[in-house]
Amino acid sequence: MFDAPENMPALPHKPGVGYKPQHFTEIMENPDPVAWLEVHAENYMGHGGRPLAQIRHLAERFPISVHGVGLSIGGEAPLDPEHLARLKHLVSWLKPTVFSEHLAWSTHGGEYFNDLLPLPYTKATLTRVAEHIDQLQNTIGRQMLLENPSSYLAFAESTWSEPDFLRELANRTGCGLLLDVNNVFVSATNLDYDPRSYINDYPLEAVGEIHLGGHDEDEDDHGKPLLIDSHGAEVVDPVWSLLDHTLSLSGPRPILVEWDTDVPEWPVLAKECQRAAAALIKVPA
């Protein structure tokens, strides 16, 4: 269990955006309404050059959220000590406001698959993931936020619901949660449950950040909708509605717009962030 200090730094309850180098100039000139930035940890693990120079500049002006995509917290094997050391180094010099990672695995047998792979929600997974979260939090010396996945299938062996599983992890480890509302919508559509019930069951008091993003639409073998989390499109209306529902229960939270593939021009992203700002204005503080 990680004992978080009383005055944990927090992101502002405003829109943030997943930072892309092509938007550097626009963000430095007029970021409105974006109040904070998120970067993928693994893109800033070089020794120097433009990426590190840019993030140093940005960190002087904006609160930064570092979002890990490669630690494989759900992996069966022990966490990679070299990758833990890289994360520790990054967090120690960049001093981000928050650090987050995923409830997923991505490395096995020394191979990294560059994707977030699913976990069965069992006692064995719970014990292992809790140990890994403890290890990470102790290594970087701070609380982390854990993000819910996009699911395309379910495990017959699962004995926990996802909200209960996340609540138990937060209780055991003292970690916070990163609620990806698009992931909830994608998973609920794919596994045919009500996304609002998921949000109603979710431990919203532990949420330190919300993610929004776009998805692609496909079909399964039976012609049922199969949504793919792509971060390559605008956030759809039902996800904005689900955000409103979430905020009405949770109160205002930092909201990130993620757009990682087919990245649009800055005005398109800024417009998505305006919409997130509008959703926040409706919520009583």
Partner 1 sequence: MSIDQTEFRTAMLDAEVAVPEGLLDGHGNPAGRRFSVYRNNVAVSLTEALETGFPVIAKLLGDANFKPIAGLFLRQSPPSAPVMMHYGAAFPGFLRGFEPLQHLGYLPDVAKVELALRRAYHAEDAQAIAPDALGQIDPEQLPLATFTFAPAMELIRSDWPIYDIWAYNMIEGAPKPQSRPQDVLILRPEFDPAPHALPAGGADFITAMRQGQTLGDAAESAENMVENFDLGTVLGLLLTNGAITQIAIEDKL
Contacting positions for partner 1 (CB under 8 A): 42-43, 45-53, 69-72, 75-76, 80, 82-83, 86, 105-115, 117-118, 120, 122, 124, 152-157, 190-193, 218, 220-222, 224, 226, 228
Residues 6 or more apart whose CB falls under 8 angstroms from that of 81 comprise none
Spatial separation of the C-alpha atoms in residues 126 and 120, rounded to whole Å: 9
- Taking the C-alpha atoms of residue 18 and residue 148, their distance in angstroms, rounded to an integer, is 17
Q: To the nearest whole angstrom, how small is the minimum distance from the Cβ of residue 153 to partner 1?
A: 4
Residue whose entry in the numeric block shows the structure tokens 């047998």:
109
Q: Which amino acid is at 122?
A: T
Nearer to partner 1, 6 or 115 (CB): 115
Structure tokens at 268: 């398109």
CA separation for the pair 178, 67 (Å, rounded): 10
CB atoms within 10 A of CB 200: 13
Q: What angle do CA 276, 20, 79 make, to 5 degrees?
A: 95
Smallest gap from residue 88 Cβ to partner 1 (A): 14
Q: Which residues contact 49 (CB under 8 A, 6 or more apart)?
A: none
Q: How far is the CB of 28 from partner 1 (least distance, A)?
A: 16
- Nearest approach in angstroms of CB 45 to partner 1 is 5
Cβ nearer to partner 1, comparing 60 with 115:
115
DSSP letter at 17 equals: E
Tell me the closest approach of the beta carbon of residue 278 to partner 1, in angstroms: 32
Q: How far is the CB of 228 from partner 1 (least distance, A)?
A: 6
Q: Considering beta carbons, is residue 53 or 268 the nearer one to partner 1?
A: 53
**CB closer to partner 1 out of 42 and 180:** 42
| Cβ nearer to partner 1, comparing 220 with 265 | 220
Decide if 276 contacts 255 (C-beta within 8 A). Answer: yes
Nearer to partner 1, 14 or 86 (CB): 86
- CA 110 to chain CA centroid, Å, is 24
